[in-house]
Structure 1
Amino acid sequence: MQKSITFKNANISFSDTGKGSVVVLIHGFLENATMWKNVAPEISKRNRVIAIDLLGHGKTDCLGYVHTMELFAETIAVVLKELRIRKCTLIGHSLGGYIALAFAEKHPQKIKGLCLMNATSNEDTAERKALRLRANKMIANNFTNMVRMSFANLFDPKSKTIFKEEIELAISEALQTPMQGYIAAQEGMRLRINRNRVLTENSFNKLLIIGEKDPVLDFETSLIEAEKTNSKVVVFPNGHMGHIENKLALQNALAVFLKNC
């Protein structure tokens, strides 16, 4: 069921389906809650699933030109408070993983499990920070091309052919993202801090889902991160977009993870 609440005069849109233990799905940059269309129905057979449109994405409004991870996390907290949810498992894809970490840092007592799907608790590298600044300077004059290029570059080269139709549908959703939402999220990701300790200092269940050919996150660095933070790992053979490139494997991995939370 689609619902909405108001947060700092901004509309926050989310869906609430199923019954049982609560699972919160947090989408990535240039995505919205529809990215979970192949995941949410399976999970909601045994769980209550909350899928939120993040600030500046989907049907949720923007709040200025910097959406920090802390601000994103605050919107998650407001939705859960409205629904009177005390405990939940968070599954975050890419940007959604960074937000999940910020939420868990502030509300560790509310977390049963945390899954970082093609995400990291590390901060951006200097090179990645520079790329984000450059993208925000270029986006005003080249929005459509920049969005298409940014999204296409998230896939393993072979996947661009195999999943051409699914990728085009995802790009069409990405192009609905307002320019303000693009800029605000990029700046928030650039400014985010290292949150390794959120994983190392908490005993809730932790899972890293990583792509062997992820063009955004270095595979070996992700493996080292998992070992250092005592997090379980599931490796997919493709890129950054497991919900498209590895649908069934993702459903299976999340089913096992949730069963143990």
Structure 2
Amino acid sequence: MVLAYKNADIYYTDQGKGTAIVLIHGFLENASMWNDIAPELSKRNRVITVDLLGHGNSDCLGYLHSMELFAETIKAVIKHLKIRKYILVGHSLGGYISLALAKTNPVQIKGLCLVNSTSNEDPEERKKLRTRANKMAKNNFESMVKMSISNLFHSKNLLKFKDEIEAVKKEALKTSIQGYIAANEGMKNRENTNHILLESNFKKLLIIGEKDPVLDFQTSLEEAKNTNSDFVVYPDGHMSHIENTSELIATLKKFIKSC
């Protein structure tokens, strides 16, 4: 299904009945990342997935997609579907967007789960990496994308999930160069949102990868403690929906029931 928003087509799916669950994918992903998750959750819930701006089948809106702009498009879909209360599940970039949604719509949110994500802002080194990546993407986009995907997995899983990683790379290349740059700029400039987690009244859960090559494990544990958030630790990397699929499904079902 498609929704027109500010002259951009936003693609989304809507399946099942019950408590509304909005699944928000990460950078270089699209709604297909939830293909093993959404059917399980939709057995007892209404599950909505969205292709973010510049990802999958959705259009871009300029060369800077801020977390707030991403959140606006998600909110437009939610409003279009006449959903009043919902649970947010965001992977990586999707978590940053979930927090932006929570900032402006806290009373509508029943729960927020950050999957391999954080309410911390980018450290300076990562900001520099994003700037460098955007420059490199203009010259050799395919290589940049494929390298970026491989770097998200725990090293011991690169062979174990070889086929799955190739499939992720194929989907990632559906992201436009403009979408890649716009999202990176938005992530680089995003603000610290620790206070949103700390001051919220809704249920909150951090799913943390012990060997996550993107997010420091100890920093994530401290974040959970400092924001009074529940957390679950998986033994692998940044791609829990692939590296720990069954565990993630079980965790999400339990979290949804608690909200």
The TM-score range, normalised by the shorter chain, is over 0.9
1:65 aligned residue: 63
What is the number of residues matched between the two proteins? 259
Distance between the aligned counterparts of 2:177 and 2:94, measured in 1? Answer: 19
Distance between the aligned counterparts of 2:224 and 2:236, measured in 1? Answer: 18
Q: For 1:83, which of 67, 81, 90 is the aligned residue?
A: 81
1:36 aligned residue: 34
Matches within 5 A, 1:1-261: 3-261=1-259
Distance between the aligned counterparts of 2:162 and 2:234, measured in 1? Answer: 19
The residue type equivalent to 1:77 in the other structure is K
SS in 2 for 1:173: helix
Q: State the shift of 1:66 in Å.
A: 0.3
Percent identity, aligned pairs only, is 63
After the TM superposition, which segments of 4 or more aligned residues of structure 1 sit over 6 Å from their partners? none
State TM-score, norm by structure 2.
Answer: 0.99
State TM-score, norm by structure 1.
Answer: 0.99
Distance between the aligned counterparts of 2:84 and 2:121, measured in 1? Answer: 28
Distance between the aligned counterparts of 2:41 and 2:97, measured in 1? Answer: 21
Distance between the aligned counterparts of 2:127 and 2:104, measured in 1? Answer: 24
The residue type equivalent to 1:142 in the other structure is N
Distance between the aligned counterparts of 1:58 and 1:173, measured in 2? Answer: 7
Distance between the aligned counterparts of 2:246 and 2:47, measured in 1? Answer: 18
Distance between the aligned counterparts of 1:198 and 1:182, measured in 2? Answer: 27
Q: State the shift of 1:58 in Å.
A: 0.7
SS in 1 for 2:46: strand
Distance between the aligned counterparts of 2:75 and 2:212, measured in 1? Answer: 30
Distance between the aligned counterparts of 1:255 and 1:242, measured in 2? Answer: 15
Distance between the aligned counterparts of 2:249 and 2:84, measured in 1? Answer: 25
Distance between the aligned counterparts of 2:119 and 2:68, measured in 1? Answer: 14
Q: State the shift of 1:176 in Å.
A: 1.3
Q: State the shift of 1:175 in Å.
A: 0.9
Gapped regions of structure 2 (runs ≥ 5): none
The residue type equivalent to 1:16 in the other structure is D
Gapped regions of structure 1 (runs ≥ 5): none
Cα RMSD, aligned residues only: 0.4
SS in 1 for 2:135: helix
Q: State the shift of 1:203 in Å.
A: 1.2
Q: State the shift of 1:184 in Å.
A: 0.3
Distance between the aligned counterparts of 2:2 and 2:229, measured in 1? Answer: 34
The residue type equivalent to 1:41 in the other structure is P
